[in-house]
Amino acid sequence: MSSMLKEMADAVSIFMAIGLSEQKAKETLKNEALSSTLKKAIEQAQGLLGSASIDKTAGTLLYNMVTRLKDSNRLSFLTEYIITRKITSELQLSAALDFLKNHPQENLDRLEFEAACGVGVVVTPEQIEDAVELIIRKHKDQLLAERYRFNMGILMGEARTALKWADGKIVKNEVDMQVLHLLGPKTEADLEKNPKVYFYCEANTEGKSLMEQLRGEALKFHKTGENYKTEGYVVTPNTMTLLKKHLEETGGQVRTRFPPEPNGILHIGHAKAINFNFGFAKANNGICFLRYDDTNPEKEEEKYFTAIREMVEWLGDYINRGEELKGHNVPPSPWRERPVEESLLLFDRMRKGMFAEGEVTLRMKMVMEDGKMDPVAYRIKYTPHHRTGDTWCIYPTYDYTHCLCDSIENITHSLCTKEFQSRRSSYFWLCNALDVYCPVQWEYGRLNLTYTVVSKRKIIKLVETAIVRDWDDPRLFTLTALRRRGFPPQAINNFCARVGVTVAQTTMEPHLLEACVREVLNDTAPRVMAVLEPLKVTITNLPHFIPDFPANEAKGSHVVPFSKTIFIEQSDFREKGYKRLTPDQPVGLRHAGYVISVQRVIKDGCGNVCELEVSCASSDSVEKPKAFIQWVSDPLQCEVRLYERLFLHKNPEDPAEVPAGFLRDINPYSITVIESASVDRSVGKAKVFDKFQFERVGYFSVDPDSTSEKLVFNRTVMLKEDPGKI
């Protein structure tokens, strides 16, 4: 046992020697595959360096390389480039990893590889200065008009494109310096909050809102009735007649649909689909149908139907109702040439329940885009359906019903994620085989988040194993969970706008979503004072008024008592060496107009500070204190729930990152419950989902577990981004 402990301690020391923190080193050691590969890389690096040590920059690159490298045969190759300082930045490393991924099992052309990842490229300060100057000149008129309200992300985006291998910090400094030279220092007017929010998306959607992107300025979809102009669309002798009839029935209206499966709760990825489908229709004065993908009686429940509709309405869209069913691909059938009459007879026997489940299926005779043959059209399911009971024992599939429902509803743009691209051939084939109106299927990239799972099967596992309470546990990224945690729908929609109308799959960090939440809550969540871990303080008595929105006091205020006994955060007092309250250092009380000084520290039998006796003086009569803290007097007792990431690793579903599986990657500190926090009485009548900013603490939302006797608050996000999470 002692030798094993020594081996682990040695490994931690080795990892810390290349720049990892002790915590990160120990966390790495838990992942056997990762730690083994990292040790190999360090050994190879030391072999190249001899007696010299690995500097922190190279160490960080080595660590990032082994966490992302898929082909272990390339470990020595990349280690050499990092240690010999040919690859010196994250940008170069990413380019190198992409090159290796796109050239598997090949004898690499080193010159081609080095060109692809910028080896030896030197960008001079003069080149950076000249490139930034050109970009500033290009946007000069708009910069002068909008000043510091201009979206500076556009300048950085263009600069990074023009100066691909330059140091990002140097580029940013040059952009900042040239902007300052052009505009001068910020004025009071520049510092005023801009009511209009612009988001930096992709190069072709700079500064555009989602609605602007969806009006066709970013994606050039076909016009209604001009389906035939879309690449790959199959034109039959009757196509133009069917399109003319379609236009007569719709009046040229844009029609989309959102078809979720009612076997789970919608998640953050669905928010993009909702924004895309409902948003595209709304931007073009059209209509979007909410259509349930109602295919599998074994997994569907009424609560999912209800929750899906609630979440769509919560995000602020107006809906029409329909329903739709799903399917799957199977191997080629040996009965492919069976006569039609015989197939119809067997299908009738299927409908009457004369076959066992899985014994037979009805299939379409065609080859799909990805080479799969004969997708299933109908299969047998004897499980009662939650809406139709035992009326049916046969159920149609996605490949059979999706295109037909789209056709019946006169959908103009069938927007779906990229994994359905291969189904486009069956979509066109069936509509044309039945000689009905054929819509156009358009594919877009999925939206994923790191540090979470969204698979229904995996969330059910989390619920069944009691790791989370239910689908709406605030640590998840289902839409019901985000609502419960206090994320405003406007913030989620803004996040989708920030992601942009991307065709490629997008994986985003949670802190980018949280930034959108802060932007909304900063303007909408009234300020109140609360202390999570109260420390009793005894002073004198005065009433006082506190503004709901300090930046705009016209938006309202509320009264709180100010009496002899108040409570402050335990963490705001220390007995020595502290920037807030100490026996030698006074502190200001927010909004009270008083500065308190410690006269006596009272401790309990265990030596813990349990009360302070202080004197107070008007803030006008003493030197301004170094800090101001929040306080409460005669407060309400409440429960507060603090949330952190549910998973320890960025990609908990990736076996390379988490070999033991996502259930073994749970953060043991993902929830902290404080049962006796204190908040001022102005929140006493708050309703479920009401949102507040607890001053200096964070944004909080009232949880459905609240009762008339005790409020429960969920921390939505902290006031500022936690650098440790990025």
Catalytic residues: 261, 446, 456
User: Cβ distance 598 to 583 under 8 Å?
Assistant: yes
- The amino acid present at 11, given as its one-letter code, is A
Residue 81: Cβ-neighbour burial (10 angstroms; 0-12, 13-18, 19+):
buried
Pairwise CA distance, residues 266 & 312, whole Å: 9
Pairwise CA distance, residues 295 & 304, whole Å: 13
Residue 105 phi/psi, 5-degree rounding, is 50, 35
Q: Tokens 């690449």 appear where?
A: 231
Q: Tokens 């349990």 appear where?
A: 610
Pairwise CA distance, residues 491 & 279, whole Å: 15
Q: What are the CA-CA distances from residue 14 to residues 62, 286, 359, 550, 607 (Å)?
A: 13, 61, 59, 51, 40
Beta strand 698-702 with 544-547 is: unpaired
Residue 618 phi/psi, 5-degree rounding, is -60, 140
The two tokens of residue 522 are 């900063």
The two tokens of residue 341 are 């009459």
The two tokens of residue 205 are 């959607």
Pairwise CA distance, residues 584 & 612, whole Å: 13
The two tokens of residue 146 are 């909008």
Pairwise CA distance, residues 432 & 429, whole Å: 5
**Three-state DSSP state, 428:** helix
**Three-state DSSP state, 209:** coil
Pairwise CA distance, residues 415 & 291, whole Å: 13
Residue 419: Cβ-neighbour burial (10 angstroms; 0-12, 13-18, 19+):
exposed
User: Cβ distance 535 to 568 under 8 Å?
Assistant: yes
Sheet holding 255-258, edge to edge: 255-258, 287-293, 320-324
The two tokens of residue 217 are 């300025």
Within 439-550, where are the H helices? 456-464, 479-485, 489-499, 510-524
- Please report the DSSP string for 268-311 in residue order: HHHHHHHHHHHHHHHHTT-EEEEEEE---TTT--HHHHHHHHHH
- The amino acid present at 638, given as its one-letter code, is C
Pairwise CA distance, residues 266 & 244, whole Å: 37
